Structure 1
Amino acid sequence: MSLNAVERRLLDIRDAWTSFTGDPGKRLLVWEMPSSSYRLAECFFEAQKFEVEYATQDLCIVFKEPFEHSIQYARALKQVLAGSYATSRADIESEGIPADWSLPPDEFPDSAYGFVQAVRSFGSRHHQHFNHLAAILMPTEVSDEAAFAGWLARALAAKLPERLRIVVLDPAEAPRLASLSGDGDPRVRHEHLALDVLAVAQETFAQERVAGPAGAFRNMLMALVSLVEKGRVEEVRSKAADAYAFAGSQGWSDQQAAVAILVAGAQLKEQRHDEAIATYRIADDAAKRAAEAGNPAGRQLAIQAKLGEAGAHLGAARPADAAHSYDDAAELALAIPDLIIAVEALRMAAFCRARMEDRDGAIVRGRQALQIGNRLRPEVRNITSLPIAASDLMNVLDPQRAERIKALRGDAEKQSASLLAETETRIAGLERTTGRDAFDAVERDLAVADVAIWREAEGLLQDVVAGGGADFQQDFDTARALLGFAWPLGAGAAEAFALTVDAPGASS
């Protein structure tokens, strides 16, 4: 039976993996790849549990916990290791293997060394059932790249045995472990893994044939998407013409809109603003036809086309035309309603009005964005563009005062980062310390000092706001009520005040 596109990539990953594990001098693998390819790599790690062609008889344990600071990270990894083993006991015993390993919370320190010892403890109990044991680190967030690299260096210094390996995935679009890979340590292997998920999708669709027009168009569209990523505009337009005409022959106006939006995006990449505008208008016409025919995708595609047109106008230094297009997009979004897109469209309309020195127009749209933001669920607001819209409104109302607020945030972030760096230095001296007291003291000191930084920043912020005009104060209070302490000082402030009951301004 022939392998599919995903399985062929998993074989490629296996070859790279066995090259690493086959080198007895290596302990740490930094695998640099596009973050869009992470899922493929994770599939490979998970597949090691099964009898498949790309299995290696190695045991890979994936850890996705975020890195906040070194103590938290080590503790979280140990908890996941113990927890995943506990939930797998029945499966282990079903294979006739005694599931009698355990990891008491305080058996090893909350450090990189402690985590390595915990993994070694597990490995020593079950070593006869695998070739290599690998800890795969895929943190969802990293608060400080230098601190994370330092944690990895200390893990490497814990003298891993040959059969124990650590693997870290590093995003190719924003590598964060160059310092670790570039120090010439012979135990570290840095490798760029070229995994093109778009090519995988294209090959999959080509291999899994769908009969009829839908299958033919799907292949056309995938080829077009691939060409947009790598080809020139002329090539994209030629390929798109066939797909657009085919979709039209089938009465698929929504797909015609999608094709036109792809072409316009390729034109924008080459700074062909007027061509992109014309193409976005073609997409808009097709989207309207789809909406009139009762296709629910039509209205969303019309919004995309209008936002694209606005962006092209802005790229061509025509803020007035862009403002009108953003207004149109906001109106379309509110009609659905798509409140998140409406907020973004109004934010950009306000931005364009400010560029035109239309202060009143910018204020009106900024306030509209806040009003719509009030209709969003509280937990959603801070992950939309609403915080930026609020800050932009403050900047229009009083540019100097808004700049002072921005500087306050920057200063507090620098102080918080410096505090974390000092704390990480202190943590590095605790690698083999037994008992929790020393680690708890460091975490307590970090929390207290960080809260003090943000409390001071909040106090200064309130002074700045109090000195502003009535409109400035009123709109600030509206935005703060919507966004909480995460605005305008950022997530650091929100996290710090979450630790205190008597945070400044909490009663307002």
Structure 2
Amino acid sequence: MVKKNAVERRLDVLREQWTEFAQLPEARLLRWVVEPEEVRMVEAFLKKEGDERLGECPDLFLRMEEPFDEPARYGLALREALVRLETESHPGLEAEGLSPWPGPPEKVGATDAESFLAACESLRCHHASLCEHLAVVLIPAGGTDAGAWLQWLRRTVEKADFPQVRLVVLEDARGLGLEPLAELFPERVVTIPARLDMARAMEELSREAGHLDTPGGKFRELFVRMGNAATKGNVGTVETLGAQAVSVAADNELHSLEVTARFVMGAALLGAQRPQEALEHYRQAEAAAERSEAKGEPEGRLLRLKARLAQGAAWVTAEEHAPAAALYEQTAPLARALKDARMELECWRMASWCCEVRKEWERAWAHGQRAWEVGQTLDAQTRETSTLPYVAEALVRLSQERRGHQAAREMEREVESVLGRDWRPEAPAAGGR
């Protein structure tokens, strides 16, 4: 028998959890409680089981991502989505000699939840020879209003009278907003924490990959353990493992790996509000990137850019805005040389913001203008995901500060001519206001 790897073993755990739930005759809703790092694994399980060629459960899994923007008709939207999914599958069913589902029954006076559940049962009955249960996984696109979501699920669970139609929701272990529902329907709503221990899984995968006696294998093992320690906030462990990882990388002239290890240590220290120590790691990362560049490694210059931007973030976190502004000014030409207009824009934006914090209005304005010029060279798609609206907002602000209301209004008109009337950002930009 072929030994299963760490991922396959966790898929087996999830399959066992599902089977446990499916065998409960009164159960209707599986409330799968997952940690953030477990979500991808659970979704991998659902994707696999949703593929009839790969799935091992005797059940049909359907993932529904209809938006929950109209709670009163969410069930109807799901019902319509079921019809679309079935229509799209007609060619495949016919090729296998199976008759298509004729569609859900009409039920006069039914609520949206009742219409949805009746459609599910109709679909399951039609495909009874193919599956024991119909499992509908509800993952609304764009998130949900917690209160409205809880109420919709409550109404739906109350009406869920078909034992072979099961609903599945993934709940973030950090929130547990569906606890009242589980308490209200202890038999119908089954709570199962995934408990996959993904940190251990990554370590198991690293060991299973072997080659731990090679520099690359040693570094991989240390790096995985560093990442797990960083996730848990164990900064001391990150530093200890990081020092070992840096030693392995440096001794073998694996400069890009040394940069990577330094970044993890720096990020952990920044998160612990120790920016000066983080800054030193980012400086060492830049030095390693320079060694990589000197060897002719193509990633060296890009790593140097990233290391300098990380130093800027450390200076800003330390509220040392003068050296941060100088660093961003000096880094913009590197971004330009790499033809990375997005990062060049960000360098000038942050240089401007740091000067604005110091009330150096003219210098802030000059840097903001450089950012604005770079931003206007971006293609439409890149511009939409860039920080150009924050540059525009800063320029309007600086116009007001330097020359008053009329200048600010003129700047707004210029911005509108480039970005349109609805240009203002909805939330503060990272690292700047």
TM-score (norm 2): 0.85
For the residue of structure 2 that corresponds to 1:127, the secondary structure is coil
Pair 1:159-2:160 in alignment? yes
- Mean Cα displacement is larger for which, 69-78 or 292-301? 69-78
Aligned-pair distance for 1:9? 0.8
Pair 1:389-2:391 in alignment? yes
Residue type of the partner of 1:395?
A: R
Distance 2:229 2:88 in 1: 46
Pair 1:326-2:296 in alignment? no
| 1:165-219, Cα deviation, whole Å (9 max, x unpaired) | 111123345x484476466333323444334444433322321235844333322
Q: 1:171 maps to which residue?
A: 172
Structure 1 ranges of 4+ moved more than 4 A: 49-52, 71-76, 93-96, 104-110
Counterparts of 1:72-83 in structure 2 under 5 Å?
Answer: 73-74=74-75, 76-83=77-84
Pair 1:469-2:402 in alignment? no
Distance 2:111 2:340 in 1: 45
Distance 1:482 1:120 in 2: 53
| 1:32-64, Cα deviation, whole Å (9 max, x unpaired) | 323443331122123334587x83312211122
- Flag the 1:113–1:398 CA change in 2: closer, same or farther, 3 A: farther
Distance 1:270 1:152 in 2: 39
Residue type of the partner of 1:477?
A: R
| 1:51-88, Cα deviation, whole Å (9 max, x unpaired) | 87x83312211122333323675455334423332333
Q: 1:236 maps to which residue?
A: 238
- Mean Cα displacement is larger for which, 41-50 or 175-184? 175-184
For the residue of structure 1 that corresponds to 2:143, the secondary structure is coil
Contact 2:226–2:237, Cα closer than 8 Å, also in 1: no
Counterparts of 1:65-464 in structure 2 under 5 Å?
Answer: 65-70=66-71, 73-74=74-75, 76-93=77-94, 98-103=98-103, 111-142=112-143, 144-172=145-173, 175=175, 177-178=177-178, 181=181, 184-186=184-186, 187-210=188-211, 212-230=214-232, 232-398=234-400
Distance 1:224 1:330 in 2: 31
Residue type of the partner of 1:473?
A: R
Contact 1:381–1:482, Cα closer than 8 Å, also in 2: no
- Flag the 1:41–1:471 CA change in 2: closer, same or farther, 3 A: same
Q: 1:11 maps to which residue?
A: 12
Aligned-pair distance for 1:115? 2.4
Aligned-pair distance for 1:338? 2.0
Q: 1:456 maps to which residue?
A: none
- Flag the 1:192–1:380 CA change in 2: closer, same or farther, 3 A: farther
- Flag the 1:8–1:149 CA change in 2: closer, same or farther, 3 A: same
Distance 1:284 1:268 in 2: 17
> Alpha carbon RMSD of aligned pairs, Å?
3.1
Contact 1:339–1:372, Cα closer than 8 Å, also in 2: yes
Distance 1:176 1:366 in 2: 44
Contact 1:202–1:222, Cα closer than 8 Å, also in 2: yes
Residue type of the partner of 1:478?
A: E
Gaps of 5+ in 2: 428-433
Contact 1:170–1:176, Cα closer than 8 Å, also in 2: yes
Distance 2:397 2:106 in 1: 51
Q: 2:431 maps to which residue?
A: none
The alignment-based identity, stated in percent, is 29
Distance 2:132 2:297 in 1: 55
Aligned-pair distance for 1:281? 0.5
Contact 2:341–2:375, Cα closer than 8 Å, also in 1: yes
